[in-house]
Amino acid sequence: MIRSATLTLQPTVLPIVDNNRLRLFSGSANLPLAQEIARYLGMDLGPMIRKQFADGELYVQIQESIRGCDVYLIQPNCHPVNDHLMELLIVIDACRRASARQITAVIPYYGYARADRKTAGRESITAKLVANLVTGAGANRVLAMDLHSSQIQGYFDIPLDHVYGTPVLIDYIASKQLSDIVVVSPDVGGVARARAFAKKLNDAPLAIIDKRRQAHNVAQVMNLIGDVAGKTAVLVDDMIDTAGTIVEGARLLRTEGARQVYACATHAVFSHPAVERLSSGVFEEVIVTNTIPVPEAKRFPQLTVLSVANILGETIWRVHEDSSVSSMFR
């Protein structure tokens, strides 16, 4: 079930934008989220033709004049990643050639972000490559949510607004009125994210899982730093892919005496066998957002999906009105 975010955003004026200047379009990756954003802004998605040739090539045509307009293109780079990334680039190019005044790529989930640096010889830094592609296609600005690492912001030579889906997760956890919460980072790299999460939950204590990754999508949990005995553990990460890391972390927390274990993540990638692992009974609840669509085949009883449409819609409105975006998260 997709639930509305408990976070309520109140703009300084009614969020009804000037349709003569602003245009909102969506790719095929997450149309329901784009429709929610459009409803928040009090407008409709722009008409667009998307077709696929027999050999797999994509064809896109904007069906209205956007000359001199500020265009916002909503397209997460989720599965199938290559198709959705290519579609985003083609739509950007179509808008540029249609003389849009400014093109903002709204990317709720930024794919290829995990390769953000070289950890071994002869590797590609795909996070930078995608930034180059989006910029080269003609985007003037990027709006992204919960990047895998903050340094990706520096890969762009155009303005990037980095917003966070964690407020809706925090509000939902707070509404459950859980007792003795300890926020847990599933690895050392996520400590800053977990610390910020814990601070918003009345400065809840923090624990860290030390893991050693032997291969991609394979993690071996080694040690727990912190005390979770008799407490409600909330595992916090930016994404859940195959769920190997977060499930092994949950099992360690159970072994260390955690009374309950919850999982929170912004991006529900859910590659196989994530659903089987997450629904195995190790979690009381798995809480994610709808930056990536979660089809019925990947839903299970413990899953809760929260909407981030209000956050993205409010950010689009503030960018369009040249208002502060960072003040939303203070």
| Bridge partners, 37 (sequence order) | none
211 is catalytic: yes
Compute φ and ψ for 289, nearest 5 degrees. -115, 175
Q: Which residue has the tokens 């909330």?
A: 234
Considering only CA atoms, which of 166, 168, 146 is closest in space to residue 8? 168
Tell me, what amino acid is at 304? T
The contacts of residue 155 (CB under 8 Å, 6+ apart) are: 127, 128, 131, 132
| Bridge partners, 107 (sequence order) | 144
User: Rounded to an integer, what distance in angstroms lies between the CA atom of residue 202 and that of residue 262?
Assistant: 17
Verify cis geometry, omega within 30 degrees of 0, for the bond prior to 47.
no
Catalytic residue among 128, 211, 231, 298: 211
User: Rounded to an integer, what distance in angstroms lies between the CA atom of residue 315 and that of residue 108?
Assistant: 12
For residues 22 and 324, the answer to whether their CB atoms sit within 8 Å is no
For residues 83 and 90, the answer to whether their CB atoms sit within 8 Å is no
**Alpha carbon 279 to chain centroid, angstroms:** 22
Residues with a known catalytic role: 211
